[in-house]
């Protein structure tokens, strides 16, 4: 995992040691011991200088880095990562004044590291420079949005999810960029500043990295509100917080959300879908009966600026893993989603006996696999940074 290193203190040094502050808002930031103010960038802005040999023109590395910058700029805090990266940096160094990103063969530990220089000046604390260094020896996936046999996530706790065996560059970059703007690790809830590789959206055969509610909340605390006219983003995923983990216990670990029996509370029996050849995915296939109720769990997030009430959440049965409003909606709820922390919730839902698609009604077939989908804001009444993270699913198989 990523190791935070505070190297080099520039400017006027008031304090030699820093403390890590975590509050109930669910994020952490760096703070001078002598002050209540966290460290921030004075200009609320970073222009990155990218190593010319590390991010060559036309390379998948460059595309993936731009994707990660774009994701942070979709967050509704007042910090901006410049879209205009300087790509021809031939002198990457910890000692120059530029904020840089590069690949190295000599990274001491971890897959990537953000080195942050900071200083206290008077009553204010500033970040002076941040450098992100990725380890060349890691087997990276630069995939930006596709399920792929080569890409994304190995979850040693739940099995191989999405069939991948390589580390996602984009989720790692989002995590390190969170450090660069002043966030620290968080180990109490689902978030990108924990185990970034398992902080994803998945729908329609695509994975999508994102900043997420917890880190968004941290960015807003540090930098206020975005100047972008868009300020809202809702999302739902089939990932949840699991426990504190990592070598130094600073990282949250995440696992897939589940289905439970209503009476016993036990996890519904099933198999890993990958083992029985469903779409090559490592998601669990739950064995369920028509007309029977189960507790169905997903994680809902408000990644936007304002608290939202009256959010319509629909539940669907789909014959594939592409959940859309064209699928059969068999139930719905109305949520209030405040911006504070991800909301992992079990809801009691009854598996329907039939599904209606394009005006025609079919019985669900015993022995067949379906996807139990969820869509937040299914009436599309909220203008969002992204509409690509509004759906998620669990896989089910109908049993007699």
Name, in order, each residue with C-beta under 8 angstroms of 136's C-beta and a sequence gap of 6 or more: 103, 104, 105, 107
170/395 with CB nearer Zn ion: 170
Binding mask 40-59 for Zn ion (x = CB under 5 A): --------------------
250/274 with CB nearer Zn ion: 250
Output the smallest distance, CB 245 to Zn ion, in A: 13
Q: Which stretch binds Zn ion (CB under 5 A): 2-10, 212-220, 311-319, 335-343?
A: 2-10
Output the smallest distance, CB 2 to Zn ion, in A: 3
> How far is Cα 221 from Cα 375, in angstroms, rounded to an integer?
28
2/226 with CB nearer Zn ion: 2
Name, in order, each residue with C-beta under 8 angstroms of 150's C-beta and a sequence gap of 6 or more: 141, 143, 164, 165, 166
- CA distance to 2, 105, 107, 313, per residue, from 135 (Å): 10, 6, 6, 41
2/155 with CB nearer Zn ion: 2
**Selection from 163, 197, 148, 193 nearest residue 272 by Cα:** 163
217 part of the interface to Zn ion, by CB under 5 A: no
2 part of the interface to Zn ion, by CB under 5 A: yes
> How far is Cα 397 from Cα 367, in angstroms, rounded to an integer?
6
Output the smallest distance, CB 185 to Zn ion, in A: 5
Bridge-based pairing state of the strands 354-357 and 308-318: unpaired
187 part of the interface to Zn ion, by CB under 5 A: no
Output the smallest distance, CB 200 to Zn ion, in A: 17
Output the smallest distance, CB 8 to Zn ion, in A: 18
Output the smallest distance, CB 388 to Zn ion, in A: 26
Output the smallest distance, CB 216 to Zn ion, in A: 17
193/308 with CB nearer Zn ion: 193
Axis crossing angle, helix 213-223 with helix 169-181, rounded to the nearest 10 = 30
2/252 with CB nearer Zn ion: 2
Q: How many of the chain's residues bind Zn ion (CB under 5 A)?
A: 1
253/391 with CB nearer Zn ion: 253
Position with the least CB separation from Zn ion: 2
2/235 with CB nearer Zn ion: 2
Output the smallest distance, CB 329 to Zn ion, in A: 40
Q: Which stretch binds Zn ion (CB under 5 A): 1-9, 38-46, 377-385, 391-399?
A: 1-9
Axis crossing angle, helix 60-73 with helix 169-181, rounded to the nearest 10 = 50
> How far is Cα 146 from Cα 159, in angstroms, rounded to an integer?
19
104/319 with CB nearer Zn ion: 104
Q: Which residues bind Zn ion (CB under 5 A)?
A: 2
């Amino acid at each position: 995992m990523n190791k935070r290193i505070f190297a080099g203190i520039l400017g006027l040094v008031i304090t030699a040691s820093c403390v890590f502050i975590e509050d109930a808002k669910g994020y952490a930031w760096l703070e001078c011991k002598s002050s209540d103010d966290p460290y921030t960038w004075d200009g609320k802005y970073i222009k990155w200088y990218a190593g010319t040999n590390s991010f060559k023109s036309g390379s998948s590395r460059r595309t993936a880095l731009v994707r990660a910058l774009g994701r942070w700029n979709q967050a509704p805090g007042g910090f901006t990562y410049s879209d205009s990266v300087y790509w021809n940096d031939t002198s990457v160094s910890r000692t120059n004044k530029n904020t840089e990103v590069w690949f190295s063969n000599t990274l001491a530990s971890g897959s990537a590291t953000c080195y942050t220089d900071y200083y206290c000046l008077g009553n204010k604390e500033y970040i002076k420079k941040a450098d992100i260094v990725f380890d060349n020896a890691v087997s990276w996936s630069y995939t930006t949005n596709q399920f792929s046999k080569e890409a994304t996530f190995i979850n040693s706790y739940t099995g191989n999810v999405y069939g991948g065996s390589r580390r996602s560059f984009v989720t790692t970059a989002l995590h390190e960029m969170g450090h660069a703007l002043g966030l620290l690790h968080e180990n109490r809830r689902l978030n990108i500043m924990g185990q970034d590789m398992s902080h994803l959206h998945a729908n329609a055969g695509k994975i999508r990295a994102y900043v997420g509610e917890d880190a968004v909340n941290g960015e807003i605390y540090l930098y206020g509100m975005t100047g972008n006219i868009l300020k809202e983003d809702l999302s739902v995923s089939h990932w949840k917080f699991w426990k504190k983990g990592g070598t130094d216990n600073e990282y949250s670990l995440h696992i897939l959300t589940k289905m439970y029996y209503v009476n016993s509370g036990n996890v519904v029996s099933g198999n890993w879908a990958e083992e029985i050849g469903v779409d090559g995915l490592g998601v669990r296939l739950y064995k369920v009966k028509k007309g029977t109720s189960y507790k169905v769990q997903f994680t809902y997030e408000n990644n936007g600026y304002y608290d939202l009430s009256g959010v319509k959440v629909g539940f669907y049965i789909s014959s594939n893993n592409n959940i859309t409003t064209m699928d059969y909606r068999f139930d719905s709820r109305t949520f209030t989603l405040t911006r504070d922390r991800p909301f992992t919730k079990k809801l009691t839902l009854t598996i329907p006996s039939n599904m209606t698609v394009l005006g025609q009604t079919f019985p669900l077939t015993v022995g067949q696999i379906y996807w139990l989908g969820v869509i937040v804001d299914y009436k599309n009444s909220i203008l969002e940074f992204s509409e690509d993270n509004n759906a998620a699913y669990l896989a089910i198989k109908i049993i007699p």
